[in-house]
Structure 1
Amino acid sequence: MDTVSGGGALDSLRWQQESYKVADKDDGMLTQEDFFALLTKELSYQDPTKPVENNEMISQMTAFSTTDGVTQLNEQFTNFASSMSSGQALQASSLVGRSVMVEDNSFTLVGDEEVKGKLVTDEPASNVVIYVENAAGERVQTVPVGSVAAGESAFTWDGKESSGYAAPAGEYRFRIAGIVDGKSTELSAMTYRKVDSVTLAGAGGSILLNLNGGSSMALSDVVEVSEG
């Protein structure tokens, strides 16, 4: 009997196995190209009498698409967060040399200067008086205001004591009292602080404004910005 040698028509009937190489990734993540290469490899080895169910194949593709989508979303969010941080840093740097308002009645007097602030009341108030106190709690100046409407009212202290002399540098605070609805009430005060410099990576990675007098505050705590 004649022996049939390999080649010719019989060779064309053999399974042609294709080789696939998963692209090297520094992060070890599979791309869509890698996934479909592995899927094709899996199909080439399956039992022809028991092919992979459509549902199973769709499930694998859906799982990969979901994972790939989450990865892309994470990358987009990282880029967005980086962009936001850069924008905040630029915004903060533009505040150097300007004054910002904070919800605090304490402030630092550096030299012979005026100090600006705002008093806040939810209802109209009468007989309003602003007291300026030093770090020891001693009253150095009293400024009568009179009646104010509900909301915010701006005021300025000239930096001088009751004697008329300039107050020494140091820590001070505004204490504001008035009559609201027939009762003696202490009103809230906000003050302006001048920004000397900016720390771009402070505690917790937040952007800090370094104020005159050595104190600092988070950029997110700024209520208002003034030119001077």
Structure 2
Amino acid sequence: MAIADTSSISGVNAASAAASTASVANDDNEQRFLKLLVAQLNNQDPLNPMQNAELTSQLAQMSTVSGIEKLNSTLSGLVNQTGSNQVLQAASLIGYAVLSPGNTLTTTAPAEGADPAPKAFAVELPGTAADVQIKIVDGSGKTVRTIDAGSMNQGVNSVTWDGKDDAGNVVPAGSYTFTVAATNGSSAVSSTALTFAQVAAVKQGTSGVTLELATGQSIGLSDVRMYL
């Protein structure tokens, strides 16, 4: 078992170190400002002393700069905390099957004399569709099964394929894809194909948290519609 290097700073410790560094920098800036202000007061022209309004303006400027630096530090801490929470949330999905955009279905050979295991997938619609037709296509581009799903409501609609072709024969084990045609009369309705895949790993990069699926596909946390 690999042992992490405890001398490195990561996660919450890194955020704390950054906040501490920012605090020291802010204190140094304030000290330098006060020293310059005192020097300015000590060396001002007695016949033309600094006016109260000018002194107040300089103090207000320093206060504004300090406030902005503290706000930036606070926001940075919140961003780091949000990223950590997303990683923990995503990590809890490892091992689960998630429903996300995709149109690939994989079948396996059933036991002799048994029916194949049904393949569950889904269709997401932005609105109601009066007629939805789904076509299952094999690797050569041939349509092996046409499913007339009828009407579907707005949102995620579940669909099941029994692993058989239009003639009722069990299709060979392998990878298939499906297409969706949703309409309201003569008007087409846009649709999103959704399939289940197991989450194998979680990765955090510059673009955020991603889920690595067992199929080799990478998706964002926001792509997950549901999990089993």
Shared fold (TM-score greater than 0.5)?
yes
Root-mean-square deviation (CA), in Å? Answer: 2.9
Q: Is the 8 A contact 1:98 1:226 kept in 2?
A: yes
In the alignment, does 2:178 pair up with 1:174? yes
Query: Hey, what does 2:213 align to over in structure 1?
Result: 211
Q: Percent identity?
A: 27
Q: Is the 8 A contact 1:131 1:174 kept in 2?
A: yes
Query: Hey, what does 1:49 align to over in structure 2?
Result: 47
| CA-to-aligned-CA distance 1:170-190 (integer Å, 9 cap, x gap) | 3x3222335522x38576243
Q: Is the 8 A contact 2:180 2:193 kept in 1?
A: no
Q: Is the 8 A contact 1:102 1:193 kept in 2?
A: yes
| CA-to-aligned-CA distance 1:122-180 (integer Å, 9 cap, x gap) | 34414x432111343221322232x314324311223444553354333x322233552
Query: Hey, what does 1:150 align to over in structure 2?
Result: 153
| CA-to-aligned-CA distance 1:97-137 (integer Å, 9 cap, x gap) | 22333344x225274652321253634414x4321113432
Partner SS, residue 131 of structure 1: strand
1:225 corresponds to which letter in structure 2?
M
Partner SS, residue 47 of structure 1: coil
Within-5 A mapping of 1:182-197:
183=186, 185=188, 188-194=191-197, 195-197=199-201
Q: 5+ residue gaps in structure 2?
A: 1-22, 110-116
Q: Is the 8 A contact 1:110 1:213 kept in 2?
A: no
Q: How many Å apart are 1:211 and its aligned residue?
A: 1.4
Q: What is the total number of aligned residue pairs between the two structures?
A: 195
Task: Indicate the structure with greater helix content.
Answer: 2
Partner SS, residue 141 of structure 2: coil
Query: Hey, what does 2:72 align to over in structure 1?
Result: 74
Q: TM-score, normalised by structure 1?
A: 0.71
Cα distance change of structure 1 residues 41 and 87 upon mapping to structure 2, 3 Å threshold:
same
Q: Is the 8 A contact 1:99 1:192 kept in 2?
A: no
